[in-house]
């Protein structure tokens, strides 16, 4: 029981972003690649929530798709309960694995088929996985799933456009729960919703986690949401993890300069006199990332070593951080 449910080792993904071959041939252009995810290591214990945070374009959603098996890694592996996900999905055990892990997508307006009634949307996983025999068994299961997310069985006869954004996301959650999964990958599930609706959906997800003993990988750029949901937090920058720590440790005593800048960007009316460090500069071009530490062009603590040598994740107290300044006591 001490083994993590999800274990990621050396995970990487590279995309070919080259110009079309004719343009490359005429203009003698080389092929270009983006290393969207670069050597991630993390694990998630059963019943816990790991949140990945970072600016847009840092690779969070790519990680989510690789973890759930929708995208094949270029490097490394994802293990779920001891099974290598992308190998298992090529075998006869793929369907059994799919039942145990599901994904909640970011946009509730795009992730639901507008031509299907809600009943059919929620019932589809039951039919695909053979979990209900015929409509007589499917209908009450769908009603129970809708009730579990605060909707009624009568809502099953409606179409997605008849619901608000928060209600659509509840439908997405009901669909993800249809196979009784153990692990949910949540890719910014509340970013398209109003703040008041976000709170309702997040509280629902926490209640479902407690009642069903779910394990979450929670992707978000909203640190307030992460503080509400996570047990542990990983901070990503340009495809790499720069800090990983328990939530309380990371929010109270962040180590990496980038983490401090992200936290300083959160408005707080109770600390108006505190000096804030602004987030300097722009995210570098991922096609040609900086050498050494990717954050060094924006870091106030950068030195020559930061420009030349990539820092490795090292333990500091309860968390891990990849920063030469912290390792040398300059942070």
pLDDT digits (tens, 9 = 90+) for 120-167: 999 999 999 988 878 888 999 999 999 999 999 899 999 999 999 999
CB 257 within 8 A of CB 301: yes
DSSP string, 217-272: EEE-S-HHHHHHH-SEEEEEETTEEEEEEEHHHHHHS--SHHHHHHHHTS--GGGT
pLDDT-based confidence at 89, cuts 50/70/90?
very high
pLDDT digits over 49-74, tens only? 999 999 888 999 999 999 999 999 99
| pLDDT at residue 5 in the model | 96
Which of the four pLDDT bands, split at 50, 70 and 90, describes residue 299?
very high
CA–CA gap between residue 274 and residue 213 (Å, rounded): 40
Q: Which helix (H) or strand (E) holds 12?
A: strand 6-16
Phi, psi of 18 (to 5 degrees): -70, 155
- CB-based contact 241:322 (threshold 8 Å): yes
Tally of CB atoms within 10 A around 259: 25
Range with lowest mean pLDDT among 92-101, 134-143, 277-286: 277-286
pLDDT of res. 276: 63
Predicted confidence at residue 274, as pLDDT, reads 59
Average pLDDT over residues 305-330: 94
Contacts for 10 with CB less than 8 Å, ≥ 6 apart? 39, 40, 41, 75, 76, 77
Q: Is the pLDDT of residue 269 over 70?
A: no
**H or E element that contains 190:** none
Q: Which residues pair with 16 in a beta bridge?
A: 33
Average confidence (pLDDT) over 173-192: 93
pLDDT at 125: 94
Tell me the whole-structure pTM to 2 decimals. Answer: 0.91
What average pLDDT does this structure show over 242-249? 96
Alpha carbon distance 177, 148 (integer Å): 9
């Amino acid at each position: 029981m001490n083994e993590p449910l999800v274990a990621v080792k050396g995970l990487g993904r590279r995309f070919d972003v080259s110009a079309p071959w004719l343009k490359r041939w005429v203009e003698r252009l080389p092929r270009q690649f983006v290393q969207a995810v670069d050597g991630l290591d993390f694990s998630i214990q059963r019943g816990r929530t790991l949140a990945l945070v970072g600016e847009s374009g840092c690779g969070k959603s790519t990680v989510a798709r690789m973890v759930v098996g929708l995208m094949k890694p270029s490097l490394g592996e994802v293990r779920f309960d001891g099974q290598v996900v992308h190998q298992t999905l090529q075998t006869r055990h793929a369907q059994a694995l799919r039942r145990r892990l599901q994904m909640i997508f970011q946009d509730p307006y795009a992730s639901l088929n507008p031509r299907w009634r809600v009943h059919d949307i929620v019932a589809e996983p039951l039919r695909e996985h053979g979990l209900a025999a015929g409509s007589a068994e499917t209908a009450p299961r769908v009603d129970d799933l809708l009730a579990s997310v605060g909707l009624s069985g009568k809502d099953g006869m409606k179409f997605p456009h008849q619901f608000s954004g928060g209600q659509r996301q509840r439908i997405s959650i009901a669909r993800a729960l249809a196979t009784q999964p153990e692990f949910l990958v949540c890719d910014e599930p509340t970013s398209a919703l109003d703040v008041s609706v976000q709170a309702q959906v997040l509280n629902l997800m926490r209640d479902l986690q407690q009642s069903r003993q779910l394990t979450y990988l929670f992707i978000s750029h909203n640190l307030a949401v992460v503080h509400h949901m996570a047990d542990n937090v990983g901070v990503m920058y340009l495809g790499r993890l720069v800090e990983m720590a328990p939530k309380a440790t990371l929010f109270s005593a962040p180590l990496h300069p980038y983490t401090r800048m992200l936290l300083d960007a959160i408005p707080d009316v109770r600390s108006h006199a505190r000096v804030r460090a602004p987030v300097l500069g722009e995210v570098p071009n991922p096609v040609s990332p900086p050498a050494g530490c990717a954050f060094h062009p924006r870091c106030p603590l950068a030195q020559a070593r930061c420009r030349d040598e990539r820092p490795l994740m090292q333990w500091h107290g309860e968390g891990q951080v990849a920063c030469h300044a912290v390792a040398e006591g300059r942070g």
